Amino acid sequence: MSKPKALATRPLFPPARAILNEQCDVDYCTVAERISRFELLKRVADIVVLVWLLTEKVDEELLAAAPKLRIAATVSVGYDNIDVAACTRRKVIATNTPGVLDDTTADFAWTLLMAISRRLVEGDAWVRAGTWPGWDLDQLLGGDVHGKTVGIVGIGRIGRGVARRAQGFNMRVLYTDQVRITPQLEKELHVEYHPIDALLRESEFVTLHVPLLHDTRHLISSAEFEKMKRSAYLINTARGPVVDENALVDALERRLIAGAALDVYEREPHVHPGLIARKDVILAPHLASASIETRTKMAVMAATNVAALFEGRRPPNALNVEALSF
């Protein structure tokens, strides 16, 4: 019997390919190809499986172009790039990759937090420029990390990882979330719940870990920057549109906050020109989960979701189990 046809929008990694190849006849796009929307719509015409990344969108238009599609497995935990309701209507199972990237992403939020407060990137540029005159008492003074207050916006899997790391730096950890965690978990994580306004007023570091949803779009905008400490840093490893970039640039220009360290942007790969030239900003190219171990686990997880479907099991990370009951 012939295997179902699949399209993977990147070559993935050998362990993930091995799982997928077992079940499907896979057309892998090359890295250099970086599939365009036009090409993607063409290549999904007769596929049953799509393994794809957050740089592509699965929406009504794509689903209409892929009438045989049964499963769309994104290699990411965030699924703001997929219209899950439209998938359900068309009986397409959507899956993501939660859990395997928590520590790697929390590590990176921490990397940004430390780098911005201790002005690491500015220092690196100075040394490379060959103009650094040598040690001096008041050079590139930053702010301490240990003993400060960090505010975590979204205490889900990754937010909790950030909280755990803060203990090692003897920090006060505040969090806000639409769902308050249990008192027992608050105790275990050493975190205090604060409504967002109070968290913004009290934190020296505000780090974002909410998904991009209708009500988290521009969660941090002009009114929020007004509430933050003048000495505060904003860290965003969640999704770009959670922060209103125009408002961020304005806040930095007006020195409402001390700086920002960003991994994600409103219109990737475009970066707001007002951010590019600023020294009080660190700009990372969306690499919070980019360790070889974790990216491999993510690809394997996506492939495992696909394999489960063809082995007659429920894909472990189905976002719309309803689609299975048809």
Should residue 317 be labelled a site residue for ligand NAD when binding is judged by CB under 6 A?
no
Q: How many residues bind ligand NAD (CB under 6 A)?
A: 30
Distance CA 269, CA 78 (A): 17
230 burial type by CB count under 10 A (0-12 exposed, 13-18 middle, 19+ buried): exposed
SS in 3 state form for 278-292? CCCEEECCCCCCCCH
Q: With binding defined as CB under 6 A, does residue 264 bind ligand NAD?
A: yes
Candidates 89, 122, 286, 322; catalytic one? 286
Nearest to residue 259, comparing CAs of 52, 81, 121, 82?
Answer: 121
Contacts of residue 174, Cβ cutoff 8 Å, sequence gap at least 6: 149, 150, 151, 152, 191, 192, 193, 194, 198, 199, 202, 203
Among positions 3, 17, 118, 286, the unique one binding ligand NAD when judged by CB under 6 A: 286
Q: Which of 211, 246, 271, 296 binds ligand NAD (CB under 6 A)?
A: 211
Residue type, 192: E
Distance of CA 309 to the CA centre of its chain: 26
Q: For Cα atoms 53, 56, 58, give the angle at the middle one, nearest 5 degrees.
A: 105
How does 244-283 read in b/e, with b if 16+ C-beta sit within 10 Å?
Answer: bbebbbebbeeebbbbbbbbbbbeeeebbeebeeeebbbe
Check residue 155 for interaction with ligand NAD (CB under 6 A).
yes
By CB under 6 A, name the one of 10, 119, 148, 209 that touches ligand NAD. 209
Residue 163 binds ligand NAD (CB under 6 A) = no
CA–CA separation, 274 vs 248, rounded Å?
Answer: 9
Residue 288 sits in the site that holds ligand NAD (CB under 6 A): yes
**The only residue of 50, 86, 113, 158 in contact with ligand NAD, by rule CB under 6 A:** 158
Phi, psi of 220 (to 5 degrees): -110, 110
Looking only at residues 54 through 83 of this chain, which bind ligand NAD when binding is defined by CB under 6 A? 77-78
60 part of the active site: no
* CB 320 within 8 Å of CB 94: yes
Kindly state the smallest distance separating residue 5's Cβ from ligand NAD, in Å.
29
Q: Which residue among the candidates 186, 192, 268, 322 is catalytic per the annotation?
A: 268
Active site residue 239: yes
Active site residue 286: yes
* DSSP helix/strand/coil, 257: coil
Among 58, 62, 101, 189, binds ligand NAD (CB under 6 A): 101
158/306 with CB nearer ligand NAD:
158
Of 234, 190, 239, 194, which is closest to residue 213 (Cα–Cα)?
Answer: 239
Which one of 27-35, 172-180, 272-280, 295-303 is the stretch in contact with ligand NAD (CB under 6 A)?
172-180
Euclidean distance between the first and the last CA atom of the chain, given in angstroms as a whole number: 24
* Residue of 25, 177, 280, 322 interacting with ligand NAD (CB under 6 A): 177
- Compare residues 4 and 161 and give the one whose CB is closer to ligand NAD: 161
Q: Are strands 233-236 and 205-208 parallel, antiparallel or unpaired?
A: parallel
Nearer to ligand NAD, 151 or 315 (CB): 151
- Residues 214-243 as x/- pattern, contact with ligand NAD by CB under 6 A: -xx--------------------xxx----
* Interface region with ligand NAD, contact rule CB under 6 A, candidates 4-12, 35-43, 281-289, 317-325: 281-289
Options 194, 239, 272, 295, the catalytic residue: 239
- Which residues belong to the active site? 239, 268, 286
Contacting residues toward ligand NAD, per CB under 6 A: 77-78, 98, 101, 105, 154-159, 176-179, 209-213, 215-216, 237-239, 263-264, 286, 288-289
